[in-house]
Chain A
Amino acid sequence: MTLTAKAAAPVGVLLIALFAVAIGSSFMPLDRVIAALLGAGSRADGVILWNIRLPRVLLAALSGAALAVAGLLLQRATRNPLAAPSVLGIVDGAAVGVLVFFLIFSNEANALVVSVHWQPLAAIGGALVFATTVGVLAWQDAVSPLRLLLYGVAMAAFANAIVTLMLIAGPAFRACLALIWLAGSVHTADWREVGLLSLAWCLALPVLAVLIRPLDQLRLDDQSAQSTGLNVARTRAAALLVSVLMTAAAVSVVGGIGFVGLIAPHAARLLYGSGAGPQMAGAACLGAGMVMASDLLVRAAFQPLEVPAGAVTALIGAPYFLTLLIREGHAHV
Protein backbone atom coordinates (compact mmCIF):
# COMPACT_ATOMS: atom_id res chain seq x y z
CA MET A 1 0.00 0.00 0.00
CA THR A 2 1.45 3.33 -1.01
CA LEU A 3 1.95 6.24 1.31
CA THR A 4 -0.76 8.18 -0.52
CA ALA A 5 -3.32 5.49 0.16
CA LYS A 6 -2.28 5.36 3.80
CA ALA A 7 -2.48 9.11 4.17
CA ALA A 8 -5.80 9.28 2.32
CA ALA A 9 -7.78 7.80 5.19
CA PRO A 10 -6.89 10.32 7.93
CA VAL A 11 -7.18 13.22 5.48
CA GLY A 12 -10.56 11.92 4.35
CA VAL A 13 -11.73 11.61 7.93
CA LEU A 14 -10.68 15.19 8.65
CA LEU A 15 -12.58 16.39 5.58
CA ILE A 16 -15.65 14.45 6.68
CA ALA A 17 -15.39 16.08 10.09
CA LEU A 18 -15.25 19.54 8.49
CA PHE A 19 -18.26 18.77 6.29
CA ALA A 20 -20.10 17.34 9.25
CA VAL A 21 -19.62 20.58 11.12
CA ALA A 22 -20.59 22.68 8.10
CA ILE A 23 -23.73 20.79 7.09
CA GLY A 24 -26.89 20.73 9.13
CA SER A 25 -30.36 22.19 8.86
CA SER A 26 -28.53 25.27 7.67
CA PHE A 27 -25.28 25.24 5.74
CA MET A 28 -22.38 27.03 7.33
CA PRO A 29 -19.50 27.92 4.99
CA LEU A 30 -15.99 27.06 6.06
CA ASP A 31 -14.94 30.63 6.92
CA ARG A 32 -17.90 30.94 9.29
CA VAL A 33 -17.09 27.54 10.82
CA ILE A 34 -13.54 28.63 11.52
CA ALA A 35 -14.66 32.00 12.79
CA ALA A 36 -17.16 30.37 15.14
CA LEU A 37 -14.59 27.85 16.32
CA LEU A 38 -12.27 30.70 17.22
CA GLY A 39 -15.11 32.52 18.90
CA ALA A 40 -15.09 35.32 16.33
CA GLY A 41 -18.26 34.41 14.42
CA SER A 42 -21.83 35.53 14.91
CA ARG A 43 -23.61 34.57 18.09
CA ALA A 44 -26.03 32.25 16.23
CA ASP A 45 -23.17 30.49 14.48
CA GLY A 46 -21.42 30.02 17.78
CA VAL A 47 -24.49 28.47 19.40
CA ILE A 48 -25.11 26.12 16.47
CA LEU A 49 -21.49 25.09 16.33
CA TRP A 50 -20.68 24.68 20.00
CA ASN A 51 -24.04 23.41 21.26
CA ILE A 52 -25.27 21.27 18.38
CA ARG A 53 -22.81 20.39 15.68
CA LEU A 54 -19.51 20.00 17.50
CA PRO A 55 -20.75 17.60 20.20
CA ARG A 56 -22.56 15.63 17.54
CA VAL A 57 -19.48 15.30 15.35
CA LEU A 58 -17.21 14.53 18.30
CA LEU A 59 -19.64 11.96 19.63
CA ALA A 60 -19.81 10.28 16.23
CA ALA A 61 -16.02 10.24 15.97
CA LEU A 62 -15.37 8.99 19.50
CA SER A 63 -18.02 6.28 19.39
CA GLY A 64 -17.03 5.13 15.91
CA ALA A 65 -13.40 4.88 16.97
CA ALA A 66 -14.38 3.03 20.16
CA LEU A 67 -16.50 0.50 18.28
CA ALA A 68 -13.75 -0.03 15.71
CA VAL A 69 -11.10 -0.67 18.35
CA ALA A 70 -13.49 -2.89 20.32
CA GLY A 71 -14.02 -4.97 17.19
CA LEU A 72 -10.29 -5.19 16.56
CA LEU A 73 -9.69 -6.39 20.12
CA LEU A 74 -12.37 -9.05 19.75
CA GLN A 75 -11.01 -10.24 16.42
CA ARG A 76 -7.50 -10.44 17.79
CA ALA A 77 -8.41 -12.04 21.10
CA THR A 78 -10.49 -14.75 19.44
CA ARG A 79 -8.38 -14.99 16.25
CA ASN A 80 -11.72 -14.78 14.48
CA PRO A 81 -12.03 -12.28 11.63
CA LEU A 82 -15.82 -12.40 11.94
CA ALA A 83 -15.96 -11.40 15.58
CA ALA A 84 -17.49 -7.99 16.22
CA PRO A 85 -19.40 -6.38 19.07
CA SER A 86 -22.67 -6.49 17.12
CA VAL A 87 -22.20 -10.09 16.04
CA LEU A 88 -21.33 -11.36 19.49
CA GLY A 89 -24.41 -10.06 21.23
CA ILE A 90 -22.65 -7.28 23.14
CA VAL A 91 -24.60 -4.48 21.47
CA ASP A 92 -27.92 -6.25 21.91
CA GLY A 93 -26.99 -7.04 25.49
CA ALA A 94 -26.46 -3.34 26.09
CA ALA A 95 -29.88 -2.67 24.56
CA VAL A 96 -31.48 -5.09 27.02
CA GLY A 97 -29.68 -3.28 29.83
CA VAL A 98 -31.05 0.09 28.70
CA LEU A 99 -34.60 -1.19 28.29
CA VAL A 100 -34.56 -2.88 31.68
CA PHE A 101 -33.33 0.44 33.07
CA PHE A 102 -36.25 2.29 31.43
CA LEU A 103 -38.64 -0.37 32.71
CA ILE A 104 -37.48 -0.40 36.31
CA PHE A 105 -36.97 3.30 36.80
CA SER A 106 -40.08 4.71 35.14
CA ASN A 107 -43.03 5.79 37.26
CA GLU A 108 -46.75 5.68 36.44
CA ALA A 109 -46.49 8.86 34.39
CA ASN A 110 -43.74 7.30 32.28
CA ALA A 111 -41.16 9.68 33.62
CA LEU A 112 -37.80 8.41 34.72
CA VAL A 113 -37.52 8.49 38.51
CA VAL A 114 -33.74 8.51 38.42
CA SER A 115 -31.38 10.61 36.35
CA VAL A 116 -30.95 9.54 32.74
CA HIS A 117 -27.23 9.84 33.44
CA TRP A 118 -27.38 6.31 34.83
CA GLN A 119 -28.41 4.93 31.44
CA PRO A 120 -24.81 4.28 30.28
CA LEU A 121 -24.22 2.19 33.39
CA ALA A 122 -27.28 0.11 32.56
CA ALA A 123 -25.97 -0.42 29.04
CA ILE A 124 -22.57 -1.46 30.36
CA GLY A 125 -24.26 -3.89 32.75
CA GLY A 126 -26.34 -5.47 30.00
CA ALA A 127 -23.31 -5.71 27.70
CA LEU A 128 -21.24 -7.39 30.43
CA VAL A 129 -23.95 -9.93 31.25
CA PHE A 130 -24.36 -11.02 27.63
CA ALA A 131 -20.64 -10.91 26.83
CA THR A 132 -19.90 -13.04 29.88
CA THR A 133 -22.53 -15.57 28.86
CA VAL A 134 -21.11 -15.86 25.34
CA GLY A 135 -17.61 -16.07 26.80
CA VAL A 136 -18.51 -18.81 29.26
CA LEU A 137 -20.29 -20.83 26.58
CA ALA A 138 -17.41 -20.48 24.13
CA TRP A 139 -14.80 -21.24 26.78
CA GLN A 140 -16.07 -24.83 27.04
CA ASP A 141 -15.06 -25.34 23.41
CA ALA A 142 -11.63 -23.80 23.95
CA VAL A 143 -12.86 -20.70 22.10
CA SER A 144 -13.28 -22.28 18.70
CA PRO A 145 -13.86 -19.37 16.28
CA LEU A 146 -16.92 -20.85 14.62
CA ARG A 147 -18.66 -21.82 17.85
CA LEU A 148 -17.95 -18.43 19.43
CA LEU A 149 -19.66 -16.84 16.44
CA LEU A 150 -22.63 -19.17 16.71
CA TYR A 151 -23.03 -18.59 20.46
CA GLY A 152 -22.82 -14.86 19.83
CA VAL A 153 -25.46 -14.96 17.12
CA ALA A 154 -27.73 -17.05 19.35
CA MET A 155 -27.32 -14.71 22.33
CA ALA A 156 -27.85 -11.67 20.10
CA ALA A 157 -31.10 -13.21 18.84
CA PHE A 158 -32.13 -13.91 22.42
CA ALA A 159 -31.38 -10.32 23.45
CA ASN A 160 -33.27 -9.05 20.44
CA ALA A 161 -36.31 -11.08 21.41
CA ILE A 162 -36.25 -9.61 24.91
CA VAL A 163 -35.93 -6.11 23.46
CA THR A 164 -38.87 -6.63 21.10
CA LEU A 165 -41.04 -8.01 23.89
CA MET A 166 -40.25 -5.12 26.18
CA LEU A 167 -40.91 -2.59 23.42
CA ILE A 168 -44.32 -4.05 22.65
CA ALA A 169 -45.33 -4.69 26.24
CA GLY A 170 -44.02 -1.35 27.51
CA PRO A 171 -45.68 2.06 27.19
CA ALA A 172 -45.48 3.86 23.85
CA PHE A 173 -43.38 6.73 25.12
CA ARG A 174 -40.68 4.41 26.32
CA ALA A 175 -40.80 2.44 23.07
CA CYS A 176 -40.25 5.60 21.07
CA LEU A 177 -37.34 6.65 23.25
CA ALA A 178 -35.83 3.21 23.09
CA LEU A 179 -36.29 2.77 19.34
CA ILE A 180 -34.22 5.85 18.51
CA TRP A 181 -31.55 4.69 20.90
CA LEU A 182 -31.62 1.15 19.50
CA ALA A 183 -31.10 2.18 15.91
CA GLY A 184 -28.06 4.14 16.92
CA SER A 185 -28.11 7.87 16.68
CA VAL A 186 -25.90 10.78 17.56
CA HIS A 187 -28.50 13.50 17.00
CA THR A 188 -29.23 13.95 20.69
CA ALA A 189 -25.56 14.56 21.37
CA ASP A 190 -24.55 16.81 24.20
CA TRP A 191 -21.27 17.61 25.87
CA ARG A 192 -22.01 15.33 28.82
CA GLU A 193 -22.05 12.34 26.45
CA VAL A 194 -18.90 13.53 24.73
CA GLY A 195 -17.31 13.78 28.16
CA LEU A 196 -18.36 10.26 29.06
CA LEU A 197 -16.86 8.78 25.91
CA SER A 198 -13.70 10.86 26.30
CA LEU A 199 -13.37 9.49 29.81
CA ALA A 200 -13.79 5.94 28.51
CA TRP A 201 -11.07 6.62 25.94
CA CYS A 202 -8.73 8.10 28.54
CA LEU A 203 -9.14 4.97 30.65
CA ALA A 204 -8.75 2.62 27.69
CA LEU A 205 -5.74 4.26 26.02
CA PRO A 206 -3.05 3.16 28.50
CA VAL A 207 -4.40 -0.41 28.49
CA LEU A 208 -4.50 -0.40 24.69
CA ALA A 209 -0.91 0.83 24.54
CA VAL A 210 0.24 -1.96 26.84
CA LEU A 211 -1.79 -4.51 24.87
CA ILE A 212 -0.23 -3.78 21.48
CA ARG A 213 2.83 -6.01 21.83
CA PRO A 214 0.89 -8.91 23.43
CA LEU A 215 -1.75 -8.67 20.68
CA ASP A 216 0.96 -9.06 18.07
CA GLN A 217 2.24 -12.08 19.98
CA LEU A 218 -1.27 -13.52 20.05
CA ARG A 219 -1.11 -14.04 16.29
CA LEU A 220 0.72 -17.23 17.23
CA ASP A 221 -1.31 -20.19 18.44
CA ASP A 222 -1.85 -20.29 22.21
CA GLN A 223 0.91 -22.71 23.06
CA SER A 224 3.51 -21.01 20.87
CA ALA A 225 2.52 -17.60 22.23
CA GLN A 226 2.83 -18.88 25.77
CA SER A 227 6.16 -20.52 25.05
CA THR A 228 7.56 -17.18 23.89
CA GLY A 229 6.60 -15.73 27.27
CA LEU A 230 3.14 -14.29 26.71
CA ASN A 231 0.57 -14.70 29.45
CA VAL A 232 -2.12 -15.77 27.00
CA ALA A 233 -5.03 -16.03 29.42
CA ARG A 234 -4.35 -12.59 30.91
CA THR A 235 -3.90 -10.95 27.51
CA ARG A 236 -7.10 -12.46 26.18
CA ALA A 237 -9.07 -11.52 29.27
CA ALA A 238 -7.77 -7.93 29.20
CA ALA A 239 -8.51 -7.53 25.49
CA LEU A 240 -12.03 -8.93 25.84
CA LEU A 241 -12.75 -6.80 28.91
CA VAL A 242 -11.56 -3.57 27.28
CA SER A 243 -13.51 -4.49 24.16
CA VAL A 244 -16.72 -5.03 26.11
CA LEU A 245 -16.27 -1.83 28.12
CA MET A 246 -15.51 0.28 25.04
CA THR A 247 -18.48 -1.20 23.19
CA ALA A 248 -20.70 -0.59 26.17
CA ALA A 249 -19.48 2.99 26.57
CA ALA A 250 -20.07 3.75 22.90
CA VAL A 251 -23.37 1.93 22.67
CA SER A 252 -24.67 3.47 25.88
CA VAL A 253 -24.53 6.96 24.41
CA VAL A 254 -25.10 6.41 20.69
CA GLY A 255 -27.08 3.16 20.63
CA GLY A 256 -26.77 0.21 18.35
CA ILE A 257 -24.48 1.46 15.62
CA GLY A 258 -23.65 -1.84 14.02
CA PHE A 259 -20.92 -3.26 11.80
CA VAL A 260 -18.36 -0.51 12.42
CA GLY A 261 -16.53 -2.89 14.74
CA LEU A 262 -16.48 -5.50 12.02
CA ILE A 263 -15.50 -3.45 8.99
CA ALA A 264 -13.09 -0.85 10.33
CA PRO A 265 -10.47 -3.36 11.62
CA HIS A 266 -10.53 -5.22 8.29
CA ALA A 267 -10.16 -2.06 6.24
CA ALA A 268 -7.39 -0.91 8.57
CA ARG A 269 -5.54 -4.19 8.13
CA LEU A 270 -5.72 -3.83 4.36
CA LEU A 271 -4.47 -0.24 4.57
CA TYR A 272 -1.95 -0.37 7.41
CA GLY A 273 -0.91 -4.00 7.69
CA SER A 274 -1.24 -6.56 10.46
CA GLY A 275 0.86 -4.87 13.15
CA ALA A 276 -1.46 -4.32 16.11
CA GLY A 277 -0.36 -0.71 16.64
CA PRO A 278 -0.86 0.66 13.11
CA GLN A 279 -3.97 -1.44 12.63
CA MET A 280 -5.47 -0.11 15.86
CA ALA A 281 -4.74 3.52 15.02
CA GLY A 282 -6.06 2.99 11.51
CA ALA A 283 -9.22 1.26 12.72
CA ALA A 284 -9.94 4.05 15.20
CA CYS A 285 -9.51 6.62 12.43
CA LEU A 286 -11.67 4.71 9.93
CA GLY A 287 -14.32 3.91 12.53
CA ALA A 288 -14.59 7.57 13.43
CA GLY A 289 -14.89 8.42 9.75
CA MET A 290 -17.55 5.78 9.13
CA VAL A 291 -19.91 6.97 11.85
CA MET A 292 -19.35 10.65 11.04
CA ALA A 293 -20.00 9.95 7.35
CA SER A 294 -23.12 7.90 8.11
CA ASP A 295 -24.47 10.65 10.30
CA LEU A 296 -23.59 13.24 7.66
CA LEU A 297 -25.36 11.17 5.03
CA VAL A 298 -28.59 10.83 7.00
CA ARG A 299 -28.54 14.53 7.82
CA ALA A 300 -28.03 15.52 4.20
CA ALA A 301 -30.31 12.95 2.60
CA PHE A 302 -33.26 12.75 4.95
CA GLN A 303 -33.58 16.33 6.17
CA PRO A 304 -35.56 17.35 8.15
CA LEU A 305 -36.14 13.80 9.40
CA GLU A 306 -33.61 12.48 11.87
CA VAL A 307 -32.76 9.01 10.57
CA PRO A 308 -30.41 7.17 12.92
CA ALA A 309 -26.84 6.82 11.61
CA GLY A 310 -26.85 3.18 12.69
CA ALA A 311 -29.29 2.45 9.87
CA VAL A 312 -26.68 3.53 7.32
CA THR A 313 -23.75 1.64 8.88
CA ALA A 314 -25.89 -1.51 8.95
CA LEU A 315 -27.04 -0.92 5.39
CA ILE A 316 -23.43 -0.89 4.20
CA GLY A 317 -22.10 -3.26 6.84
CA ALA A 318 -24.45 -6.19 6.41
CA PRO A 319 -23.56 -6.93 2.76
CA TYR A 320 -19.87 -6.52 3.59
CA PHE A 321 -20.27 -9.00 6.43
CA LEU A 322 -21.90 -11.47 4.06
CA THR A 323 -19.02 -11.28 1.59
CA LEU A 324 -16.59 -11.81 4.48
CA LEU A 325 -18.55 -14.86 5.62
CA ILE A 326 -18.46 -16.30 2.14
CA ARG A 327 -14.77 -15.54 1.66
CA GLU A 328 -13.37 -16.33 5.11
CA GLY A 329 -16.06 -18.44 6.76
CA HIS A 330 -14.42 -21.63 5.57
CA ALA A 331 -10.88 -20.48 6.17
CA HIS A 332 -9.01 -22.12 9.00
CA VAL A 333 -8.29 -19.31 11.39
Chain B
Amino acid sequence: MSESHVPPVITVESASVGYGEALVFRDLSLTIPKGQVTALCGPNGCGKSTALKAMRGLLPTRAGQILLDQTPIGGWGAKALARQIAILGQSPSAPQEMRVRDLVALGRYSHRAAFRTLSQEDSAAIETALEATDMAALSERPLGALSGGQLQRAWLAMVVAQEAPVIFLDEPTNHLDIAHALNVLDLVRHLSQTGGKTVVIVLHDLNMAARVADRVVLFRDGRIAADGAVADVLTEARISAVFDIACQVLTRPGSALPLIVPLGPLPQARRG
Protein backbone atom coordinates (compact mmCIF):
# COMPACT_ATOMS: atom_id res chain seq x y z
CA MET B 1 0.00 0.00 0.00
CA SER B 2 3.04 2.28 0.12
CA GLU B 3 3.21 4.87 -2.62
CA SER B 4 6.96 5.32 -2.48
CA HIS B 5 7.70 3.17 -5.52
CA VAL B 6 4.82 4.39 -7.66
CA PRO B 7 5.63 7.13 -10.17
CA PRO B 8 3.47 10.22 -9.65
CA VAL B 9 0.98 11.05 -12.37
CA ILE B 10 0.15 14.50 -10.98
CA THR B 11 2.52 16.73 -9.06
CA VAL B 12 1.43 19.89 -7.27
CA GLU B 13 4.45 22.09 -6.61
CA SER B 14 4.01 24.95 -4.14
CA ALA B 15 0.72 25.93 -5.77
CA SER B 16 -1.51 28.78 -4.62
CA VAL B 17 -5.11 28.72 -5.80
CA GLY B 18 -8.20 30.70 -4.90
CA TYR B 19 -11.43 32.33 -6.04
CA GLY B 20 -11.38 36.07 -6.69
CA GLU B 21 -9.35 37.85 -4.04
CA ALA B 22 -9.21 35.07 -1.49
CA LEU B 23 -6.68 32.27 -1.67
CA VAL B 24 -8.03 28.88 -0.62
CA PHE B 25 -4.56 27.43 -0.27
CA ARG B 26 -1.04 28.68 -0.75
CA ASP B 27 2.17 26.80 -1.18
CA LEU B 28 0.48 23.42 -1.52
CA SER B 29 2.59 20.48 -2.56
CA LEU B 30 1.09 17.09 -3.29
CA THR B 31 1.71 14.12 -5.54
CA ILE B 32 -0.90 11.75 -6.88
CA PRO B 33 0.59 8.29 -7.42
CA LYS B 34 -0.38 6.29 -10.47
CA GLY B 35 -2.90 3.47 -10.16
CA GLN B 36 -3.95 4.22 -6.59
CA VAL B 37 -7.09 5.54 -4.95
CA THR B 38 -6.27 8.74 -3.07
CA ALA B 39 -8.93 10.17 -0.76
CA LEU B 40 -8.93 13.89 0.09
CA CYS B 41 -10.59 14.46 3.45
CA GLY B 42 -11.01 17.30 5.89
CA PRO B 43 -13.49 19.74 7.39
CA ASN B 44 -15.77 21.93 5.24
CA GLY B 45 -13.89 24.70 3.48
CA CYS B 46 -10.47 23.12 4.00
CA GLY B 47 -9.58 23.29 0.30
CA LYS B 48 -10.01 19.69 -0.79
CA SER B 49 -12.51 20.38 -3.57
CA THR B 50 -10.48 23.38 -4.67
CA ALA B 51 -7.39 21.20 -4.85
CA LEU B 52 -9.30 18.74 -7.02
CA LYS B 53 -10.46 21.45 -9.43
CA ALA B 54 -6.99 22.98 -9.59
CA MET B 55 -5.44 19.60 -10.42
CA ARG B 56 -7.94 19.30 -13.29
CA GLY B 57 -7.02 22.76 -14.56
CA LEU B 58 -10.46 24.18 -13.81
CA LEU B 59 -8.94 26.88 -11.60
CA PRO B 60 -5.81 28.83 -12.49
CA THR B 61 -2.78 28.62 -10.20
CA ARG B 62 -1.59 31.97 -8.84
CA ALA B 63 1.84 30.70 -7.91
CA GLY B 64 3.70 27.42 -8.18
CA GLN B 65 2.66 24.85 -10.73
CA ILE B 66 0.69 21.67 -11.27
CA LEU B 67 2.15 19.04 -13.56
CA LEU B 68 0.38 16.18 -15.29
CA ASP B 69 2.97 13.69 -16.59
CA GLN B 70 5.68 16.38 -16.31
CA THR B 71 3.69 18.90 -18.40
CA PRO B 72 2.06 21.93 -16.75
CA ILE B 73 -1.70 21.41 -16.55
CA GLY B 74 -2.33 24.68 -18.39
CA GLY B 75 -0.27 23.45 -21.34
CA TRP B 76 -2.69 20.65 -22.16
CA GLY B 77 -5.43 21.32 -24.69
CA ALA B 78 -9.02 20.98 -23.50
CA LYS B 79 -9.61 17.67 -25.29
CA ALA B 80 -6.17 16.21 -24.58
CA LEU B 81 -6.61 16.96 -20.89
CA ALA B 82 -10.09 15.41 -20.91
CA ARG B 83 -8.62 12.21 -22.36
CA GLN B 84 -6.26 12.09 -19.35
CA ILE B 85 -8.48 13.23 -16.46
CA ALA B 86 -12.24 12.89 -16.07
CA ILE B 87 -13.89 14.74 -13.21
CA LEU B 88 -17.34 14.49 -11.67
CA GLY B 89 -18.23 17.68 -9.80
CA GLN B 90 -20.50 18.08 -6.81
CA SER B 91 -23.54 19.44 -8.60
CA PRO B 92 -23.51 18.50 -12.27
CA SER B 93 -26.60 19.41 -14.27
CA ALA B 94 -28.16 18.51 -17.61
CA PRO B 95 -31.65 19.01 -19.08
CA GLN B 96 -34.34 16.88 -17.45
CA GLU B 97 -35.51 15.48 -20.77
CA MET B 98 -32.06 14.15 -21.77
CA ARG B 99 -31.89 10.36 -21.88
CA VAL B 100 -29.31 8.52 -19.78
CA ARG B 101 -27.68 7.07 -22.90
CA ASP B 102 -27.33 10.50 -24.48
CA LEU B 103 -25.76 11.86 -21.31
CA VAL B 104 -23.26 9.01 -21.23
CA ALA B 105 -22.50 9.60 -24.93
CA LEU B 106 -21.50 13.18 -24.08
CA GLY B 107 -18.65 11.63 -22.10
CA ARG B 108 -17.12 10.59 -25.45
CA TYR B 109 -16.65 14.18 -26.63
CA SER B 110 -12.87 14.21 -26.28
CA HIS B 111 -12.52 11.03 -28.36
CA ARG B 112 -14.64 12.14 -31.30
CA ALA B 113 -13.58 14.00 -34.40
CA ALA B 114 -15.68 17.07 -35.18
CA PHE B 115 -18.01 15.57 -37.78
CA ARG B 116 -17.90 11.86 -37.00
CA THR B 117 -20.86 10.02 -35.57
CA LEU B 118 -20.35 7.62 -32.68
CA SER B 119 -17.71 5.04 -33.63
CA GLN B 120 -17.76 1.39 -32.58
CA GLU B 121 -15.29 2.22 -29.82
CA ASP B 122 -17.58 5.00 -28.61
CA SER B 123 -20.58 2.69 -28.52
CA ALA B 124 -18.59 -0.01 -26.75
CA ALA B 125 -17.35 2.47 -24.14
CA ILE B 126 -20.90 3.68 -23.56
CA GLU B 127 -22.22 0.14 -23.10
CA THR B 128 -19.36 -0.76 -20.76
CA ALA B 129 -19.97 2.36 -18.69
CA LEU B 130 -23.70 1.67 -18.48
CA GLU B 131 -23.00 -1.93 -17.38
CA ALA B 132 -20.34 -0.93 -14.85
CA THR B 133 -22.68 1.55 -13.18
CA ASP B 134 -25.66 -0.78 -13.37
CA MET B 135 -27.55 1.71 -15.55
CA ALA B 136 -28.05 -0.44 -18.67
CA ALA B 137 -31.68 -1.15 -17.84
CA LEU B 138 -32.39 2.54 -17.34
CA SER B 139 -30.47 3.82 -20.35
CA GLU B 140 -33.55 5.02 -22.26
CA ARG B 141 -35.00 6.93 -19.30
CA PRO B 142 -34.91 10.72 -19.19
CA LEU B 143 -32.79 12.13 -16.37
CA GLY B 144 -35.86 13.78 -14.83
CA ALA B 145 -37.38 10.34 -14.20
CA LEU B 146 -34.44 9.04 -12.15
CA SER B 147 -34.05 8.83 -8.37
CA GLY B 148 -31.12 10.58 -6.70
CA GLY B 149 -29.03 7.43 -6.62
CA GLN B 150 -29.79 6.54 -10.23
CA LEU B 151 -28.97 10.08 -11.34
CA GLN B 152 -25.60 9.96 -9.60
CA ARG B 153 -24.87 6.62 -11.29
CA ALA B 154 -25.84 8.10 -14.66
CA TRP B 155 -23.26 10.85 -14.16
CA LEU B 156 -20.71 8.29 -13.04
CA ALA B 157 -21.42 6.37 -16.24
CA MET B 158 -20.65 9.50 -18.25
CA VAL B 159 -17.34 9.88 -16.43
CA VAL B 160 -16.48 6.20 -16.92
CA ALA B 161 -17.31 6.43 -20.64
CA GLN B 162 -14.69 9.15 -20.95
CA GLU B 163 -12.09 6.36 -20.49
CA ALA B 164 -9.52 8.63 -18.90
CA PRO B 165 -6.73 6.90 -16.96
CA VAL B 166 -7.25 9.38 -14.12
CA ILE B 167 -10.66 9.93 -12.50
CA PHE B 168 -11.52 12.70 -10.03
CA LEU B 169 -14.69 12.41 -7.96
CA ASP B 170 -15.92 15.23 -5.74
CA GLU B 171 -18.07 13.75 -2.97
CA PRO B 172 -19.74 11.18 -5.23
CA THR B 173 -21.63 9.60 -2.33
CA ASN B 174 -23.45 12.80 -1.40
CA HIS B 175 -27.22 12.41 -1.28
CA LEU B 176 -26.92 8.64 -1.63
CA ASP B 177 -28.32 6.13 0.81
CA ILE B 178 -25.83 3.74 2.34
CA ALA B 179 -26.39 0.93 -0.16
CA HIS B 180 -25.89 3.21 -3.15
CA ALA B 181 -22.92 4.86 -1.48
CA LEU B 182 -21.27 1.47 -1.01
CA ASN B 183 -22.05 0.61 -4.63
CA VAL B 184 -20.25 3.74 -5.76
CA LEU B 185 -17.24 2.91 -3.59
CA ASP B 186 -17.15 -0.63 -4.96
CA LEU B 187 -17.24 0.79 -8.46
CA VAL B 188 -14.31 3.04 -7.59
CA ARG B 189 -12.29 0.09 -6.25
CA HIS B 190 -13.21 -1.90 -9.32
CA LEU B 191 -12.05 0.92 -11.61
CA SER B 192 -8.78 1.10 -9.74
CA GLN B 193 -8.04 -2.60 -9.33
CA THR B 194 -9.24 -4.12 -12.59
CA GLY B 195 -9.23 -0.98 -14.72
CA GLY B 196 -5.87 0.28 -13.48
CA LYS B 197 -7.30 3.77 -13.01
CA THR B 198 -5.80 6.44 -10.84
CA VAL B 199 -8.60 7.82 -8.67
CA VAL B 200 -8.71 10.95 -6.53
CA ILE B 201 -11.87 11.12 -4.47
CA VAL B 202 -13.08 13.83 -2.10
CA LEU B 203 -15.01 12.25 0.76
CA HIS B 204 -16.58 13.58 3.93
CA ASP B 205 -17.04 10.23 5.58
CA LEU B 206 -13.73 8.95 6.94
CA ASN B 207 -15.01 5.37 7.17
CA MET B 208 -15.88 5.45 3.49
CA ALA B 209 -12.43 6.87 2.78
CA ALA B 210 -10.86 4.08 4.82
CA ARG B 211 -12.86 1.55 2.85
CA VAL B 212 -12.05 2.78 -0.63
CA ALA B 213 -8.67 4.49 -0.49
CA ASP B 214 -5.08 3.28 -0.65
CA ARG B 215 -3.95 6.61 0.66
CA VAL B 216 -5.57 9.45 2.57
CA VAL B 217 -4.68 13.15 2.48
CA LEU B 218 -6.12 15.17 5.38
CA PHE B 219 -6.64 18.88 4.72
CA ARG B 220 -7.06 21.58 7.31
CA ASP B 221 -7.38 25.30 6.52
CA GLY B 222 -5.79 25.01 3.08
CA ARG B 223 -2.85 22.95 4.31
CA ILE B 224 -2.07 19.28 4.29
CA ALA B 225 -2.28 18.01 7.84
CA ALA B 226 -1.45 14.40 7.06
CA ASP B 227 -0.69 12.34 3.99
CA GLY B 228 -0.06 8.61 3.81
CA ALA B 229 -1.45 5.10 3.93
CA VAL B 230 -4.93 4.76 5.44
CA ALA B 231 -3.84 3.18 8.72
CA ASP B 232 -1.05 5.72 9.22
CA VAL B 233 -3.23 8.78 8.65
CA LEU B 234 -6.55 7.85 10.22
CA THR B 235 -5.40 7.78 13.82
CA GLU B 236 -7.22 9.18 16.84
CA ALA B 237 -4.69 11.95 17.36
CA ARG B 238 -4.73 13.11 13.72
CA ILE B 239 -8.50 13.03 13.35
CA SER B 240 -8.98 14.87 16.64
CA ALA B 241 -6.56 17.57 15.56
CA VAL B 242 -8.02 18.04 12.08
CA PHE B 243 -11.75 17.87 12.85
CA ASP B 244 -11.73 19.14 16.45
CA ILE B 245 -13.58 16.07 17.61
CA ALA B 246 -12.99 13.34 20.11
CA CYS B 247 -13.02 9.94 18.46
CA GLN B 248 -12.04 6.36 18.86
CA VAL B 249 -10.44 4.29 16.10
CA LEU B 250 -11.28 0.60 16.18
CA THR B 251 -10.33 -2.16 13.81
CA ARG B 252 -13.01 -3.07 11.36
CA PRO B 253 -14.23 -6.63 11.92
CA GLY B 254 -12.90 -8.99 9.28
CA SER B 255 -10.20 -6.64 8.01
CA ALA B 256 -7.27 -4.60 9.17
CA LEU B 257 -8.95 -1.30 8.18
CA PRO B 258 -9.57 1.38 10.77
CA LEU B 259 -13.13 2.07 11.89
CA ILE B 260 -13.63 5.59 13.16
CA VAL B 261 -16.21 6.22 15.87
CA PRO B 262 -16.78 9.94 16.45
CA LEU B 263 -17.57 10.62 20.11
CA GLY B 264 -18.32 14.34 20.07
CA PRO B 265 -16.83 17.78 19.54
CA LEU B 266 -13.78 18.71 21.56
CA PRO B 267 -14.76 20.80 24.60
CA GLN B 268 -12.67 23.78 23.46
CA ALA B 269 -12.76 23.91 19.71
CA ARG B 270 -9.61 25.56 18.43
CA ARG B 271 -11.33 26.67 15.27
CA GLY B 272 -11.68 30.31 14.37
Contact = CB atoms under 8 A, between A and B. Distances in A.
A217 B106 contact: yes
Nearest to A234: B78
Given A213-B109, A227-B86, 16 more contacts: A213-B112, A219-B95, A220-B93, A221-B89, A221-B91, A221-B93, A223-B53, A223-B87, A224-B89, A224-B93, A226-B78, A227-B58, A227-B82, A229-B109, A230-B78, A274-B97
B94 A220 contact: yes
Contact of B94 (A221, A227, A231): A221
Interface residues of A, number: 17
Given A220-B106, A227-B86, A228-B82, A213 B114 contact: yes
B94 A229 contact: no
A305 interface: no
Which of A213, A216, A227 has most B Cβ within 10 Å? A227
Contacts of B109: 213, 217, 228-230
B211 interface: no
Nearest to A235: B78
A205 B84 CA distance: 32
Contacts of B58: 223, 226-227
Interface of A: 209-210, 213, 216-217, 219-221, 223-224, 226-231, 274
8 contacts: A209-B115, A213-B109, A220-B92, A221-B92, A227-B89, A228-B107, A228-B110, A229-B78
B34 interface: no
Contacts of B56: 227
A58 B82 CA distance: 44
A230 B78 CA distance: 6
A61 to B, nearest CB: 26
B151 interface: no
Nearest to A213: B114
B93 to A, nearest CB: 4
Contacts of B89: 221, 223-224, 227
Nearest to B170: A223
Contacts of B97: 274
B180 interface: no
- Ranked nearest first, the 6 interchain pairs of A and B with the lowest CB-CB distance are A229-B82, A229-B110, A229-B79, A231-B78, A227-B87, A221-B93
Interface in B155-170: 155, 158-159, 162
Contacts of A220: 92-94, 106
Nearest to B111: A229
A255 to B, nearest CB: 34
Nearest to A220: B94
A178 to B, nearest CB: 41
Interface string B177-215: 000000000000000000000000000000000000000
Nearest to B97: A274
B160 to A, nearest CB: 12
Nearest to A221: B93
B87 A219 contact: no
Contacts of A213: 109, 112, 114-115
B223 interface: no
A217 B98 CA distance: 12
Nearest to A214: B109
A209 B115 CA distance: 8
Contacts of A231: 78
B239 to A, nearest CB: 30
A98 B95 CA distance: 39
B250 to A, nearest CB: 38
Contacts of A226: 58, 78
A216 B106 contact: yes
Nearest to A226: B58
Contacts of B114: 210, 213
Given A213-B114, A220-B106, A274 B78 contact: no
Nearest to B112: A213
